């Protein structure tokens, strides 16, 4: 979901320093079975090794840890199939630390891994720079900021929709619901929280709404009195609030907002697709609506996935979609490998560009080879007390340019 381009110089300069690093520490994981050194296993199946250096603890753990579990699930399911590809996940915990992100990514490269899923934490662009320099190929995992495709370059792909799509879907929903005056709250710290208020503004004004005011916050903020006071004193009064604020900040903000007597509806984004949303906000999250990548309903693929995930992994998914996104990343790479009969990065790049109507848990995907971002249906979820429920799905008619 987010990255900082200023890490480019730090991490690229560190290539020489980290070039001698090697893997094998006790933070490495293998979700797809034992490691191999050959390109094929005993049955002559191509072994697709996918590397992941993620923040498995800290602020981004609700995203990276669940993403990794979904990847490990996906590897197990692929390996159960009688197909030409087997998958091995090799993971390292960078603890959300910038230097460790560089070290662990380089360690994976040194182990011969050249296919990656990037962290959702800040160093994703810098990780991508290292991987691109080594001739690898990667997906952006759970990241949705569309400019990351341009920032990292032609060797990276999205398998999820972009932030401009989900913000536009929320804006169209707001217009259809009759909201006229929106209040925006963002953070300039990362693209996810910086750009989505701008996308929402563009789409909301396009469908006839106006912006009553806007404010900023800091990620990790624990007190929101200033932001709430500004909303209370706004003229005109906002009849809806939009923010890409994510857990646990969003829950803390809603507690402060509702505690001050402000009952304006709250609209947000996929960073709240976590049990931590209700845990952090309690019944203050009641009525909140957020966009995400799907929702488990009776008889649909995501519900079947959730049940099977518990059987395979021994625990229920912690989110409606992040584990599914991890699984989908694995399956998208596998489809490209099958199509090209290769696990080499350059071949996978061509295979990914040609993916068409691939049935993923988070919706059918056809890759746009020019943007390297698919346009997929957006799911809207509404909270009833602390329980999420499917509200609707939509593909926005107007999508702002990244």
What is the per-residue pLDDT for 44?
A: 78
What is the Cα–Cα distance from 180 to 196, expressed in whole angstroms?
A: 18
* Mean of pLDDT values over 298-311: 93
**What torsion, rounded to 10 degrees, do the Cα atoms 76, 82, 86, 88 define?**
10
87 DSSP β-pair partners: 48
With 90 as the cut, is the pLDDT of residue 15 above it? Answer: no
Tell which phi-psi region holds residue 194, choosing left (phi > 0), alpha (psi between -120 and 50) or beta.
alpha
The residues near 84 (Cβ < 8 Å, ≥ 6 apart) are 45, 46, 338, 341
What is the per-residue pLDDT for 9?
A: 36
Which of 289, 266, 278 lies closest to 386 in space, CA to CA?
A: 278
With 90 as the cut, is the pLDDT of residue 375 above it? Answer: no
Contact, 71 vs 52, CB < 8 A? Answer: yes
Residue 306, classified by CB atoms within 10 Å of its CB into exposed (0-12), middle (13-18) or buried (19+), is middle
pTM of the model: 0.81
Tell which phi-psi region holds residue 178, choosing left (phi > 0), alpha (psi between -120 and 50) or beta.
left
* Mean of pLDDT values over 60-77: 96
* Mean of pLDDT values over 35-59: 76
What is the Cα–Cα distance from 41 to 53, expressed in whole angstroms?
A: 25
Domains of the chain: 7-161+302-365 (3.40.50.2300), 163-292+378-394 (3.40.50.2300)
* Lookup: tokens for 174: 């707001």
* Lookup: tokens for 385: 């007390």
What is the per-residue pLDDT for 10?
A: 36
What is the per-residue pLDDT for 82?
A: 85
The residues near 314 (Cβ < 8 Å, ≥ 6 apart) are none
Sign, CA dihedral 9-12-16-18, equals: positive
| Mean of per-residue pLDDT scores for the chain | 90
* Lookup: tokens for 135: 């001739």
What is the Cα–Cα distance from 175 to 207, expressed in whole angstroms?
A: 6
SS3 percent helix, strand, coil of the chain, rounded to 5, is 40, 20, 40
Q: Per-residue confidence at 402, pLDDT binned at 50, 70, 90?
A: confident
Helix (H) or strand (E) holding 205: helix 191-206
With 90 as the cut, is the pLDDT of residue 194 above it? Answer: yes
91: helix, strand or coil:
strand
DSSP string, 267-302: EE-GGG-SHHHHHHHGGGGTT-EEEES----TTSHH
What is the per-residue pLDDT for 283?
A: 97
* Mean of pLDDT values over 332-344: 98
What is the Cα–Cα distance from 127 to 10, expressed in whole angstroms?
A: 11
With 70 as the cut, is the pLDDT of residue 13 above it? Answer: no
What is the Cα–Cα distance from 21 to 26, expressed in whole angstroms?
A: 15
Contact, 291 vs 340, CB < 8 A? Answer: no
Q: Per-residue confidence at 43, pLDDT binned at 50, 70, 90?
A: low
pLDDT tens digits for range 276-292: 999 999 999 999 999 99
* Mean of pLDDT values over 177-188: 98
* Mean of pLDDT values over 3-14: 37
What is the per-residue pLDDT for 12?
A: 37
Which of 234, 127, 253 lies closest to 187 in space, CA to CA?
A: 253
With 70 as the cut, is the pLDDT of residue 102 above it? Answer: yes
Decide the pairing of beta strands 29-30 and 85-93. antiparallel
What is the per-residue pLDDT for 28?
A: 44
What is the per-residue pLDDT for 103?
A: 97
* Mean of pLDDT values over 150-172: 96
How many CB atoms within 10 Å of residue 82?
6
What is the per-residue pLDDT for 7?
A: 35
Contact, 121 vs 55, CB < 8 A? Answer: yes
What is the per-residue pLDDT for 59?
A: 87
Which range has the worst mean pLDDT, 110-114, 121-125, 175-179, 181-185?
A: 121-125
* Mean of pLDDT values over 363-376: 91
With 60 as the cut, is the pLDDT of residue 347 above it? Answer: yes
The residues near 181 (Cβ < 8 Å, ≥ 6 apart) are 209, 210, 211, 212, 236, 237, 238, 239, 240
pLDDT tens digits for range 238-264: 999 999 999 999 999 999 999 999 999
Contact, 255 vs 221, CB < 8 A? Answer: no
What is the per-residue pLDDT for 122?
A: 85
């Amino acid at each position: 979901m987010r990255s900082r381009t200023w890490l480019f110089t730090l991490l690229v300069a560190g290539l020489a320093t980290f070039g001698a690093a090697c893997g094998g520490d006790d933070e490495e994981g293998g979700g797809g079975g034992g490691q191999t050194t050959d390109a094929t296993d005993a049955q002559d199946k191509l072994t697709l090794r996918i590397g992941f250096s993620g923040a498995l603890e800290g602020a981004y753990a609700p995203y990276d840890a669940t993403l990794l579990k979904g990847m490990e699930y996906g590897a197990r399911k692929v390996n159960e199939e009688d197909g030409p590809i087997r998958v091995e996940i090799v993971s390292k915990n960078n603890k959300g630390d910038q230097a460790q992100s560089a070290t662990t990514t380089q360690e994976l490269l040194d182990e011969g891994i050249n296919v990656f899923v990037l962290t959702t934490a800040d160093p994703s662009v810098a990780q991508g720079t290292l991987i691109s320099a080594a001739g690898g190929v990667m997906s952006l995992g759970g990241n949705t900021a569309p400019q990351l495709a341009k920032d990292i370059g032609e060797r990276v792909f999205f398998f999820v929709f972009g932030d401009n799509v989900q913000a536009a879907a929320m804006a169209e929903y707001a217009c259809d619901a009759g909201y006229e005056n929106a209040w925006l709250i963002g953070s300039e710290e990362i693209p996810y929280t910086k750009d989505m208020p701008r996308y929402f503004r563009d789409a909301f004004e396009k469908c006839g709404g106006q912006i009553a005011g806007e404010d900023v916050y800091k990620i990790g903020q624990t007190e929101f009195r200033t932001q709430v006071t500004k909303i209370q004193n706004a003229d005109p009064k906002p009849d809806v609030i939009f923010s890409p604020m994510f857990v646990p900040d969003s829950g803390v903000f809603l507690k402060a907002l509702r505690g001050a007597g402000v009952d304006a509806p709250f609209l947000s984004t996929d960073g709240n697709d976590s049990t931590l949303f209700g845990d952090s906000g309690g019944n203050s999250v009641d009525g909140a609506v957020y966009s995400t990548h799907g929702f488990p309903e009776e008889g649909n693929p995501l519900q079947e996935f959730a049940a099977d995930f518990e059987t395979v992994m021994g625990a229920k998914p912690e989110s409606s979609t992040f584990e599914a996104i991890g699984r989908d990343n694995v399956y998208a790479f596998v489809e490209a490998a099958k199509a090209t009969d290769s696990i080499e990065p350059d071949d996978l790049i061509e295979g990914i560009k040609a993916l068409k109507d691939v049935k993923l848990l988070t919706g059918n995907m056809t890759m746009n080879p020019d943007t390297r971002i698919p346009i997929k249906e957006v799911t809207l979820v509404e909270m009833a007390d602390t329980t999420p429920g499917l509200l609707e799905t939509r593909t926005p008619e107007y999508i702002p340019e990244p």
